[in-house]
């Protein structure tokens, strides 16, 4: 039997490292702004009421994801036409320019423009995934794709520290810099320069170690004279391929397991995008029964700790939990684990001591002792539920349709992530700028999170138990149950490893 096992192809180390760094750059560039985004918007003096900043912060956060949604189709086409390598390198260059622009922004329209362009000029996530699939084979793909999750896990640790500790550094260390220095005149340039240096490293690695992986070429549009030589059979064949792809898309959409899993994925993205937007914005205010009066460093520390926790969960907890409960039960249990965060987090403001509205509030030891476990409840839930639903989406399709079904899921979740920050920021600004009683006071957004979480729990019962297994295994188990085949057929089934 050992002779029948395939020989595992060694991973191309430098290519994998280059793609890992490029993906890490994307994670850092998109996440590093959150610890200081509220202070950045506040510095533009758009409103005298700090509680209304959520409107502007939400729109700024959404602009990046909307731009990525709009440009995703272009970058897919461009990487097919010009190649994966040029797409990745151009994405890094675009990010470097836009990051510098964000750091140098002196008004809201300017930072909005560069943040939007940052998402528009960079399609590296989808292109890097495609390149990974092309430089690996069935024996080493699972290991290679695990670097995608690792890059975002590391980015979730590094990015908050960069944004939290290096933004507005002149205020934090007044004796280290002259008030007239370039860094003090542009207080949010320093964290973006650090991100630029990461992108520069990715650019160098990509330039020297990445070779083009695309093995096909687009046929140029023929001239008038040569077009006559194209046979009618080729034209008919092309139309048939288009029709078959359209029929394939429609048939997949008609499958309940595909549609339900993709819709739940989109709603899950909406749920946690709301929290990611609300947490840094809400925590910077000192409101009676409301925010924590956090500095950007405080926010960076908390978010970075969640990134470390997420890596531990992904590596050690998820495999054991799924092997014991299965994907579907793990998803449901983890949803309820998030509810303590939505209930208890707004109550922690009782430990915030209000001193001066312009000063950051002091926090007793008990506050920190309670904050970290309460915050990590949602971090645990986020990690387990996202991995579970991503695998279930893959399990809802046959191997030939897996890429198409994953694309449907990514498209839907991109829509929810595009509008989540704007909705969350608007609701937060509304609740904090009025004196309405519970449940529409500062608890409003957290009450919405509770409703969405419970709704997702009940929606998960629309998902069939077959999603705990790959499509082939689920079909085979059904045949065994009906007596069509014996249990010995399971030993002959060869399944690919799950890619997270």
Is 80 in the same domain as 199? yes
Q: Which residues contact 485 (CB under 8 A, 6 or more apart)?
A: 476, 479
Query: Do you find a cis peptide bond into 443, omega within 30 degrees of 0?
Result: no
Is 204 in the same domain as 258? no
- Give the dihedral sign, CA 30/414/277/268: negative
- The Cα angle at residue 343 between residues 339 and 348, in degrees rounded to 5: 130
Tokens (6 digits) for 317: 């907890």
| Domains in the chain, number | 2
Using an 8 Å Cβ cutoff, are 471 and 252 in contact? no
Residue 327 lies inside a defined structural domain of this protein: yes
Is 147 in the same domain as 271? no
Is 323 in the same domain as 415? yes
Is 204 in the same domain as 321? no
Residue 233 lies inside a defined structural domain of this protein: no
Q: Where are the alpha helices (DSSP H) in 12-52?
A: 13-31, 37-42
Is 195 in the same domain as 289? no
Q: Which residue, 159, 186, 213, sits at the end of a domain?
A: 213
Tens of pLDDT, residue by residue, the chain (500 residues): 444 455 677 878 898 899 999 989 998 998 899 889 988 998 999 888 777 788 898 889 888 888 888 887 788 788 878 888 999 999 999 999 999 999 999 999 999 999 999 989 988 887 887 787 778 765 666 577 667 777 888 888 899 999 999 999 888 888 888 888 888 899 999 999 999 999 999 999 999 988 877 665 655 444 444 444 445 555 455 445 544 554 555 555 566 788 899 999 999 999 999 998 888 877 776 555 467 878 888 888 888 888 888 888 877 888 888 888 988 999 999 999 999 999 999 888 777 655 554 445 577 888 888 999 999 999 899 988 988 888 888 788 776 676 667 778 878 888 898 888 888 888 888 887 777 888 888 889 999 999 999 999 999 999 998 888 776 776 677 766 666 666 655 555 554 443 33
Range of the domain at 338: 254-468
Residue 480 lies inside a defined structural domain of this protein: no
Is 199 in the same domain as 266? no
CATH code for the domain in which residue 149 is found? 1.20.1250.20
Residue 222 lies inside a defined structural domain of this protein: no
Neighbours of 86 (CB within 10 A): 16
Residue 496 CA to residue 471 CA, distance in Å, equals 11
Residue 159 lies inside a defined structural domain of this protein: yes
- How is residue 294 annotated by DSSP? -
Is 145 in the same domain as 282? no
The answer to whether the pTM exceeds 0.85 is no
Q: Which residue, 159, 180, 213, sits at the end of a domain?
A: 213
Residue 407 lies inside a defined structural domain of this protein: yes
Q: What are phi and psi of 47, to 5 degrees?
A: -155, 150
Residue 477 lies inside a defined structural domain of this protein: no
Is 208 in the same domain as 270? no
Is 111 in the same domain as 11? yes
Residue 242 lies inside a defined structural domain of this protein: no
Is 193 in the same domain as 258? no
């Amino acid at each position: 039997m050992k002779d029948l096992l395939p020989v595992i192809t060694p991973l191309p180390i430098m290519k994998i490292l280059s793609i890992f760094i490029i993906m890490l750059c994307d994670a850092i560039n998109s996440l590093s702004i959150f610890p200081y985004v509220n202070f950045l918007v506040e510095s533009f003096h758009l409103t005298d009421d700090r509680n209304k900043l959520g409107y502007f912060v939400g729109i700024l956060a959404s602009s990046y994801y909307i731009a990525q949604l709009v440009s995703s189709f272009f970058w897919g086409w461009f990487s097919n036409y010009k190649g994966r390598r040029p797409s990745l390198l151009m994405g890094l260059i675009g990010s470097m320019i836009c990051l510098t622009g964000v750091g140098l922004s002196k008004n809201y329209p300017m930072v909005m423009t560069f943040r939007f362009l940052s998402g528009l000029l960079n399609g590296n996530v989808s292109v890097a995934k495609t390149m990974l699939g092309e430089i690996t084979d069935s024996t080493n793909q699972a290991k290679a794709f695990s670097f995608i999750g690792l890059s975002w896990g590391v980015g979730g640790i590094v990015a908050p520290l960069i944004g939290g500790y290096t933004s507005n550094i002149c205020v934090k260390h007044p004796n280290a810099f002259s008030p007239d220095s370039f860094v003090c005149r542009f207080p949010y340039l320093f964290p973006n320069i650090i991100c630029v240096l990461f992108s520069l490293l990715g650019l160098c690695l990509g330039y020297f170690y990445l070779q083009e992986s695309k093995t096909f070429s687009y046929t140029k549009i023929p001239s008038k004279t040569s077009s006559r030589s194209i046979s009618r059979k080729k034209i008919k064949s092309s139309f048939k391929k288009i029709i078959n792809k359209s029929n394939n898309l429609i048939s997949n959409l008609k499958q309940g397991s595909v549609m339900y899993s993709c819709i739940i994925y989109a709603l899950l993205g909406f749920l946690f995008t709301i929290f990611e937007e609300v947490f840094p914005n809400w925590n910077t205010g000192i409101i009676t029964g409301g925010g924590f009066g956090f500095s950007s460093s405080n926010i960076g520390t908390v978010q970075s700790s969640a990134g470390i926790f997420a890596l531990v969960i992904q590596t050690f907890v998820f495999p054991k939990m799924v092997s014991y409960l299965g994907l579907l039960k793990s998803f449901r249990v983890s949803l309820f684990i998030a509810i303590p965060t939505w209930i208890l987090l707004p109550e922690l403001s009782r430990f915030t001591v209000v001193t001066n509205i312009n000063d950051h509030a002091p926090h007793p030891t008990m506050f920190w002792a309670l904050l970290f476990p309460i915050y990590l409840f949602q971090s645990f839930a986020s990690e387990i539920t996202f991995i579970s639903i991503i695998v279930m989406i893959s399990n809802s399709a046959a191997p030939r349709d897996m890429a198409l079904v994953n694309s449907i899921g990514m498209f839907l979740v991109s829509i929810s992530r595009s509008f989540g920050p704007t909705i969350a920021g608007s609701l937060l600004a509304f609740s904090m700028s009025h004196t309405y009683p519970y449940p529409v006071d500062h608890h409003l957004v957290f009450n919405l999170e509770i409703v969405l979480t419970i709704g997702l729990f009940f929606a998960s019962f629309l998902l069939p138990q077959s999603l705990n297994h790959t499509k082939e295994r689920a079909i085979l188990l059904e045949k065994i149950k009906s007596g069509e085949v014996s249990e010995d057929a399971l030993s002959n089934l060869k399944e690919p490893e799950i890619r997270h």
